[in-house]
């Protein structure tokens, strides 16, 4: 009976417009006003970035937050997502079909929960500019980038953790990085590397996206996104990078490795 009562309480929602471009439908357990303001500040920041690549107006996404994992898992059962997506040990997920981000256990760590919200909402915006199936490393890399942003009094600041920086350096020292294969990988290969190699995939995607956002011109990045938006172009992602990056993919590999040193 307790679970049913909690689910009914979690069904309430409110719609809030953010920066006139995005409407967030809040559902589930209520976020305190301060946390809601942080989410909306981050979304304004993200929207400014995604607008550079053709993000359309009048967007709408649903954000469903649960304080307790058991209630979140029950909700995912009721909408049929738990049968399609492994939900154990994840902090949140995004359903492209429903345009809904679900956060699993906000009460476990409020600060961490906010980072998961930033991550999952980035999935929505990335799909909006690239189409239904963007390269997995770019989708997860952008989400990791915004997950690692913090809203402060002086604005929003991104950082990579000391562990991530050390892990990237060790990857190169051990000869583990095959960048061409990585950017061309599909979802199954990406997740296989993630599960078996100490978070290899997410860390490498985060580093690669950080390199592209902070060390590559926005025009070059825009040209790359434009190629991804062309659904008639069947070239591999590495080939598309080679077309826009000065010196081709080999120069891209060299510059990224120097960035990681």
Which pLDDT belongs to residue 2? Answer: 43
pLDDT value of position 14: 63
pLDDT at 145 over 90: yes
Pairing of strands 13-18, 22-28: antiparallel
Alpha-carbon dihedral angle through residues 226, 223, 233, 49, given to the nearest 10 degrees: -40
| 62: pLDDT strictly greater than 90 | yes
pLDDT of residue 8: 44
Rounded average pLDDT over 49-74: 93
pLDDT band at 255 (very low <50, low <70, confident <90, very high): very high
Q: For position 154, what pLDDT does the model report?
A: 85
**Cα–Cα distance between 188 and 32 in angstroms, integer?**
37
Beta strand pairing status for 100-103 and 149-152? unpaired
- Does pLDDT of 60 surpass 90? yes
pLDDT in tens, 132-143: 789 999 999 999
Tens-place pLDDT, residues 3-34: 444 444 444 566 666 766 789 999 999 999 99
Alpha-carbon span 64 to 201, nearest angstrom: 27
- Mean pLDDT in the chain? 90
Give the H or E element holding residue 61. Answer: strand 59-65
Percent of the chain past pLDDT 90, that is, above it, reads: 76
Q: Is the pLDDT of residue 104 over 80?
A: yes
pLDDT of residue 1: 39
- Which residue(s) pair with 151 in the sheet? 156
* Residue-level pLDDT at 86: 73
Determine phi and psi for 175, rounding to 5 degrees: 70, 30
Range with top average pLDDT, 21-25, 95-99, 188-192? 95-99
Q: Quickly list H helices, 67-186.
A: 69-78, 110-130, 136-147, 162-173, 179-184
Residue boundaries of the structural domains of the chain: 2-132, 157-260
C-beta atoms surrounding 140 within 10 Å:
26
Q: Side by side, which strands form the sheet with 13-18?
A: 13-18, 22-28, 59-65, 100-103, 92-95
DSSP 31: P
Q: Provide the pLDDT for residue 16.
A: 62
pTM as predicted: 0.91
Chain-centre distance for alpha carbon 45: 14
Q: What is the pLDDT of residues 194-235, one digit of tens each?
A: 877 777 899 999 999 999 999 999 999 999 999 999 989 999
Which CATH code for domain 2-132?
3.40.30.160
Confidence (pLDDT) at 20: 62
């Amino acid at each position: 009976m307790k679970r049913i009562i909690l689910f009914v309480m979690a069904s309430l929602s409110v719609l809030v417009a953010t920066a006139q471009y995005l409407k967030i439908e809040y559902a589930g357990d209520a976020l305190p006003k301060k946390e809601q303001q942080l989410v909306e500040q981050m979304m304004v920041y993200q929207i400014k970035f995604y607008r550079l690549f053709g993000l359309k107006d009048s967007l709408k996404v649903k954000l469903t937050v649960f304080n307790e994992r058991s209630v979140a898992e029950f909700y995912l059962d009721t909408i049929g997502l738990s049968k399609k997506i492994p939900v154990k040990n994840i902090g949140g997920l995004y359903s492209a079909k429903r345009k809904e981000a679900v956060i699993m256990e906000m009460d476990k760590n409020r600060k961490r929960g906010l980072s998961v919200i930033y991550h999952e909402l980035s999935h929505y915006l990335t799909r909006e500019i690239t189409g239904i199936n963007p390269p997995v490393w770019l989708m997860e890399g952008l989400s990791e980038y915004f997950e690692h942003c913090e809203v402060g009094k002086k604005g929003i600041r991104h950082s990579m953790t000391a562990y991530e920086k050390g892990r990237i350096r060790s990857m190169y020292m051990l000869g583990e990085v095959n960048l061409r294969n990585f950017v061309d990988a599909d979802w199954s290969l990406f997740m296989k590397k993630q599960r078996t190699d100490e978070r290899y995939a997410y860390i490498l995607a985060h580093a690669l996206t950080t390199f592209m956002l902070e060390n590559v011109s926005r025009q070059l990045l825009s040209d790359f996104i434009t190629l991804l938006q062309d659904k008639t172009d069947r070239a591999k992602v590495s080939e598309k990078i080679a077309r826009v990056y000065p010196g081709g993919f080999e120069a891209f590999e060299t510059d990224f490795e120097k960035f990681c040193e």
